[in-house]
Amino acid sequence: MMAGEYQIITEDGFGLGVTLFSPKGSPKAGVIINSATAVKQGYYSAFAKFLAQNGYLVLTYDYRGIGKSAVSNQRDQRLSMSAWGEYDLAAVIHWSTSKYNELAWHCVGHSVGGQIIGFARNNTELASVYCVSSQSGYWGHWGLRERPRVLLAWFAMIPILARVLGQVPGAFLGGESLPAGIARQWAYWGRHKDYIVDKKGNPVRDGFARLQCDMKFLSIDDDRDFAPQRAVRALKDFYCNANTDIQIIRAKTIDKKPIGHFGFFRSRYEESLWGGVLEWLD
């Protein structure tokens, strides 16, 4: 397995840091990994290496404003969550399918990584999509115990920090700092029952409806803080013309420790959970 670093330039001029993990011999297919919000691509390296060792060409990348795609101006007007799909993922799909056009390309999306697929105008180039804890962020999908925390984030904490600091510090997110425009749009969506909406509050669904490939949604039953089952099912319904399937992972049958929102991509789950992705891809 070999890894190489590249830069992909988006249509609107952002440079994205990309890592390509190559298998020994000819790859079976290609896999693009979409990160969670404020999570750098390096978090998925062990998982990417696992897929490469099993014959896949795997690409990880950082969205604009994050990690190797960081920018100096945190208030740049081109920084938005929708741009992660409309420009960043679209550029990655174009680069991958053009450079390795003999391969079928799949996508594994973690959290927001399953949401932004609906923004990429070339998302129909994807052969299949596997979503891990990807969800609608509307606060009403959370249980009564978790709901106050989500309401506080969407209506107060994130908008205020973004306005005052020009970013939401990573300490509040458990990851990287989030530039102001991205954070504000994220919180704006979370306040709406339709979640992904335009500036007038109208649902944005055209790109989601365009996708007709096979899609798998993984819901982890102890991921109540970030992706409760109701929120995962809500996002699945966005992709109304895709062949969608949802699988519930019972965390206690897998491990004594919680899996939660971020556990799936840790090496400890290589034998118990990662094999399911291989079965899907194969």
- Give tens-digit pLDDT for 93-111: 999 999 999 999 999 999 9
Domain annotation covers residue 62? yes
pTM exceeds 0.95 for this model: yes
pLDDT at 172: 86
pLDDT at 58: 98
Residue of 104 and 171 predicted with greater confidence: 104
Portion of the chain with pLDDT greater than 70, in percent: 99
Residue 255 has pLDDT above 80, yes or no: yes
Q: Are 213 and 109 in contact (CB under 8 A)?
A: no
Say how many C-beta atoms besides its own lie within 10 A of residue 94's C-beta: 17
Domain annotation covers residue 181? no
Residue 74 has pLDDT above 90, yes or no: no
pLDDT at 61: 98
**pLDDT tens per residue, range 115-169:** 999 999 999 999 999 999 999 999 999 999 999 999 999 999 999 999 999 999 9
Domain count, the chain: 1
Q: Are 92 and 16 in contact (CB under 8 A)?
A: yes
Domain annotation covers residue 194? no
Domain annotation covers residue 24? yes
**pLDDT tens per residue, range 22-54:** 999 999 999 999 999 999 999 999 999 999 999
Q: Please name the amino acid found at residue 190.
A: G
How far is residue 226's CA from residue 109's CA, in Å, rounded to a whole number? 15
Q: Which of 212, 214, 213, 194 is nearest to 203 (CA)?
A: 194
173 pLDDT band (50/70/90 cuts)? confident
Domain annotation covers residue 157? no
pLDDT at 1: 66
pLDDT at 131: 98
CATH code where residue 92 lies: 3.40.50.1820
Domain annotation covers residue 149? no
Domain annotation covers residue 43? yes
How far is residue 105's CA from residue 103's CA, in Å, rounded to a whole number? 6
pLDDT at 175: 86
Domain with 243, as residue range(s), is 2-141+204-281
